[in-house]
Structure 1
C-alpha cells in the first residue's frame, strides 16, 4: 500500500492525514475488486478457511462489508459496481435472511450503506431492483436475532426501510424492539454487556454504540441522539485509554480480526458532536490504530486484509470468522463522512492519554483497572469483571495489554491443582489504584483476588479457599515478547518458581508483577515494599510514601484502605 508522505506538522504523532485514510480506503477497495463474481453479487477471497455459515454466506459477507467501505468513502465509481451486485444479489443469488442467520448481519451493513449513500446508489436503481432489494431486506425486520449485539441489525435494516417508506409499521416495530432489548444490557457509565452476563469488549464501540447513535443521527431524532450520544460520550472517556502509545488497541475480547474497527466510536463521537475528546485527540487515536496495523502486516501481498491481528493469526478467530470477516474493519473509515474542512481533520494531533502521563484508572461498569505508563506507552487492563467462557482466553485472564496476547501457557492466571479455570467471576469493586474479584477455580476452589497498581508495578494477591489441604497453586504473570520485559516475583506463600500449596484453611498468595518496555527500569524493590502480617493483612508502601492496606476474606471479599505516610 503506497501512502502519501507523512505530514509531521499537522500530525506530529502519526504523520497521517485525511489523505492517508483516503488512500488506504481506495487501496483496499481496489484490491478486493478482482475477487468479485462476474455479476458482482459475491466477493470470494482466497484461502482455505470457511465460516460455519458456508461459502455463499461468506461471499455475501465480502460484498456487504466492502460496500460499507465504499459508502464511507463515497466512491461513486465503486458504488456503481456495488449497484450491479445488488441487482443480481436480490434477484436470487443471495441467501434469504432467516432466524439467527449470518445474512441478517450483512443485511445491516447493506442497509446502512444504502442509507448513507441514498442519492448516489439507491435513488439511481430501477424500480424493480428497489422493490426486490426492499423485500430481501424486509425479512430482516422479523428474523430472530441472537440475544446480543445482533438485536441491532433489525434496527439498522428498519431505519433504512422506514426512511424509504417500505413496511413502515414493521420497520418501526423492529426499531423499537431492538432498542428495547439493549436497554436490558446497559449497565451505566457508558457501558453495555454484549447480551446476558458480563461480556465487555470492543463490541461496545463497533456495535452497541455505533448502530443506535448512527440511527438517531440519520433519523435526526434529537431525543434518541441525546440518549445514545450521551452514553457514547461517557464511554469514550474510558475507551480512549484502551490504546497504547504506538496506536495498538487492547488485545482483549473476540473478533479482534476487525482490527481498526476499534476507531469507529472515536469517529462517531466527532461525527455527532457527542465526544469528550478534542479533534486532535480523536485523529491521533484513530490514525495511530490504522498506522499500527498497516505497518505490521495486516494487509497481505494481494492488498487484502488477512484473518488475524498483525498478519494471519488463527488464535484471534472464531467459528463465524470467514475470509471476508476482517472487512468489518471498514467501520474504521467512518471518519471519512466528516468533510475535509472539519476540525477533526484540520486540527493538529494531540497526545493520546497513554502518552500524556502515568495513570491508573478505575472503570466501574466492567470492573476493570486500566494502567498506563507514558515512558513506554503501554496500557494494561486488569480484568476483574469480564467473562465469556466461550471465548476464553480472551475474556477470562486476569490481565491484558496493548503489547501482549494471551498465551497458551496460561499467562495472568491462578492455577489451582494445575487447573487454570476462572469461571463465575464476581466483581468485588474497583477504586483508587485497585480492583478485586472472586472466581471459581479448579478442584472446587474459590479465589478472591486483588491487584494494586502504580506506575508499571502491580501487587497481585490471591486468597484460595475451598481446596483440599496441600493442593498446589501456581501464579503466572505476563507473557514476555521481544518488545517488552515481564517480571513476577514471589512475596508470600510462593517459592521462587511462583508455586505454593494450600493450608487447612484459606491461603494467601502474593506476588509482584511488572510489564514494561523501558530498557533499564528501576529494580522492583526500589519502587514498592510489601509485607503480610500474621492476620493476613497486606501492607503496601509505594516509593512516593503512598501506603495501602488490604484485607482479603473468603466471605466478605476485600477491604482496601489508602493513606499517605
Structure 2
C-alpha cells in the first residue's frame, strides 16, 4: 500500500529503514500535517479546537478543550524535539490559546470531569516544552495557568488511570511554584501499586482491566512524572524495570504490517499504541534494540497512514481506519483521537539518538510463528509469519470491577478472541446479536446469553481456560471454555452445564471489507473470506450439529460488510462438551481437510485432540483434583508439557 496523495512525506529512507522507509523526518512531517490541519478549527482565541464530528457526553466546550490539550501535547513534542527552532508558529498558537483558556475559556476542573484528563495533557506539554513556552509566558498568563491547573487540588478522580492525571498535573505545578498537595501526589502513586499484577502488567484499576491503557497510561504517566522531580525516591527504577518486562511481551501485539491487536476501549487513539515503545527508549528501559523500537513504531504509524489515517482533511476521525462510531465510547468527542499524540513521544529523543540513527531491525514475529501465554492479563497470543496475523485469546480481561459489583459485557472485552486483522462487530444491533467470538446459549426468542465476568482457571503454554455464568430467561448455565493455540488455529473446547432444549452457538472471527466477504458452508463447517484473502472458518469437531454464516452491515471497524462463521447444536441437558476449530488465516483454508485431519475423542469431561501432524493435547474440564493435569501436550519433537490443577 502507499501513502495517500493528500499527505506529503519525504522520500522513503531505504538505507536506514529497510522495512518501513520511515525516519525522523517522516514523523516530523506527519506531526506537522496533523497540527496544520487542525488550525482552521481553532476558536478565535485559539483556546479550543472544535473539529467536526460527534460530540462527547461532556459537551462541545469540553470537547474543544480536549482538542486543544491533545494537539498541544503533539505540538510540545514537536517543539522540544526541534529545540524550539523553526516552530515559532506552534509556540505562538499555543501560547495564545493557553492565555485565553486559562483566563476563562476553559471549564473549571471539578470532580471526575473530563477537564482532569486534559489538564494532565497540558501539564505534560508545558513541562516538556517549558524553556520555549511556559517560561516565555508573561507573569499574568503564568499565574492564570497555575490557577486553572490548580483546580485539580483536592478533587476526586475515578479509581483507575485517572489518579495519575492528578499526579502529573500537581507535580508540574510543584515545579513552577503553583498550588499542589504533596500528599495527593504520593497517594496517587501509592494507589496504583495494588493494581500492579507482575511481569510488567498493571490492571487499569481494580478488577481485570487489561488493554492499551496499560502501556499508554499506567506505564506512561509514572515515568513522565519522574522527569518532573529531582528525586523520585527510588520509584523510577521500579517503573523502568516494570516497563522493560512489559515491553518484552508487548512487542508481540503487532502484526507484520504494523496492525495492532484490535482489543479494548479507546481504539480510536490508534497509534498511541506505540507510546510505550518510545517510552522504553526514552528511559533506557526496553529489551528491544533501538532499531527494533523504531521499526515497530514506524510500522504501526505507516499502517494507519496507508489506510487513510489521517483523512483527506488531515484529521483523525472517530474510528479505526474510516470513521466508525461503534468503535468508540460515549466519552469520545472529535478531539479524542488526538491522544494519538502520545505516539510521537519519540520526538523527545534527539535526532542523533540510536533510536533514530541505527538501522531498523527485525522483531521475533518476523522470523517465527510464536505462541505466548500471558498469565497476568489472561491472554494467549498466537502469530503466524506467513500472513503476519496475530490472534489474542482472551480468558482474563473483562473490564469489570470485582464481585460483588455488578458485571456487564462489552464487545471490546467479552469476546473469546481478538486479532490484528479482524475486529468484533460492535454496532448496537450486531452487539445484541453477539455472534462473533462468543459462546452463547440462546433463549426461545433467539436472544444470546452474555459473557460478563470472566472467571479465570489457567493460562500456560499454548492453553488458557476460564468459565462464566450464562443466564438465559430464568435459567443459569455454567460455561467453561478452554482454548489451545497453534499457528492460525484455535481449538476451542466448551463444557456447557444446564437445562436441556436450548441452542448453543459458538462464533468465530468476524471478517470485514468494503464489499461482502464470500461465504461457504459444508458438512459441519462454515467460512467467510474477504476480497483480499483473509478467511475466518468454524469447524465443528465434536458435539455440534451444523454450521452457518452470519452477516452484518456497517457493524465492523474494518469495513462496512462483515461475515462471521458459527456452529450450533441443541443442548441435551446436564453436561455437554463441544469442540470447535477456529481459524483465522490469510493463507488458503480447506475446512473439509481440517475436519478430517483433526481427531477428537470425548470421554465424560476429558477431551483428547490429535493434530494432523500427530501432536496430542489432552484436557480435563470441570473439577480437577489438585495435582492432576488439566492440560497435557505431547509434541512430536519435544518434551511433554503439563498444567496441573
Both structures adopt the same fold (TM-score exceeding 0.5):
yes
CA distance in structure 2 between the aligned counterparts of 1:524 and 1:343, rounded to whole angstroms: 49
Task: Note the C-alpha offset of 1:156.
Answer: 0.9
User: 1:149-548 to 2 correspondence within 5 Å?
Assistant: 149-167=161-179, 170-221=180-231, 223-388=234-399, 392-407=410-425, 408=430, 409-417=434-442, 418=446, 419-443=448-472, 444-465=476-497, 467-481=498-512, 482=530, 483=532, 484-497=534-547, 498-519=567-588, 525=594, 529-548=598-617
Q: Deviations over 1:479-512 (max 9, x none)?
A: 2332410111111110122212223321100011
Shift of 1:521: 6.9
**Alpha-carbon distance in 2 for matches of 1:328, 1:258:** 5
Per-residue deviation, residues 90-124 of structure 1 (Å, max 9, x unmatched): 11111000000111110000000011111111111
Q: Assess if the C-alpha contact under 8 Å between 2:539 and 2:595 holds in 1.
A: no
8 Å Cα contact 1:410/1:420 also seen in 2: no
1:15 is aligned to 2:21: yes
Structure 1: unaligned runs, 5 residues or longer? none
SS of corresponding position for 1:119: helix
Q: Distance in 2 between matches of 1:522 and 1:506?
A: 28
Distance 1:281 1:450, change over 3 A: same
CA contact (8 A) 2:380 2:462 kept: yes
Q: Displacement, 1:218? A: 3.7
Q: Contact 1:528/1:540 (CA < 8 Å) preserved in 2?
A: no
Q: Distance in 2 between matches of 1:338 and 1:414?
A: 47
Measured in 2, the distance between the counterparts of 1:387 and 1:534 equals: 31
Q: Is the Cα–Cα contact under 8 Å of residues 41 and 84 in structure 1 kept in the other structure? A: yes
Distance apart, 1:353 and its partner CA: 3.1
Q: 2:625 & 2:92 partners in 1: Cα distance? A: 64
Alignment check: 8 A CA contact 2:208 2:377 kept: yes
1:535, CA displacement in angstroms? 2.9
The whole-number CA distance in structure 2 between the counterparts of 1:177 and 1:92 is 30
Q: Secondary structure at the match of 2:505?
A: strand
| TM-score relative to the length of structure 2 | 0.84
Q: Report how many residues are paired.
A: 561
CA distance, structure 2, for counterparts of residue 178 and residue 394 of structure 1: 27
In the aligned structure 2, how far is the partner of 1:248 from the partner of 1:526? 30
Counterpart CA distance in 2 for 1:157 and 1:527 is 61
- Given that residues 457 and 524 in structure 1 are in contact (C-alpha distance below 8 angstroms), is that contact kept between their aligned partners in structure 2? no
**Tell me, what secondary structure is at the counterpart of 2:632?**
strand
* 1:520 Cα deviation from its structure 2 partner: 6.1
1:395-429 Cα deviation digits (max 9, x unpaired): 00000000011023521111112414002211111
Secondary structure of the corresponding residue to residue 510 of structure 1: strand
* Structure with more of its chain in helix, by fraction: 1
- SS of 1:509's equivalent in the other structure is strand
Shift of 1:543: 4.2
Please state whether the residue corresponding to 2:241 is helix, strand or coil. Answer: helix
Match of 2:206, SS state, is coil
Cα deviation, residue 544, structure 1: 4.4
Q: Deviations over 1:316-350 (max 9, x none)?
A: 11111111111010000000001111111111112
Alpha-carbon contact 1:61-1:324 (below 8 Å) kept: yes
Pairwise CA RMSD: 1.8
Check whether the contact 2:537–2:591 (CA below 8 A) recurs between aligned residues. Answer: no
Gaps spanning 5+ residues in structure 2: where? 1-6, 80-86, 400-406, 513-529, 548-566, 637-645
CA deviation after TM superposition for structure 1 residue 453, in Å: 1.2
Is this contact kept in 1: 2:102–2:148, CA < 8 A?
yes
Distance change (3 Å), C-alpha of 1:186 and 1:528: farther
Alignment partners' CA distance in 2, 1:272 and 1:59: 32
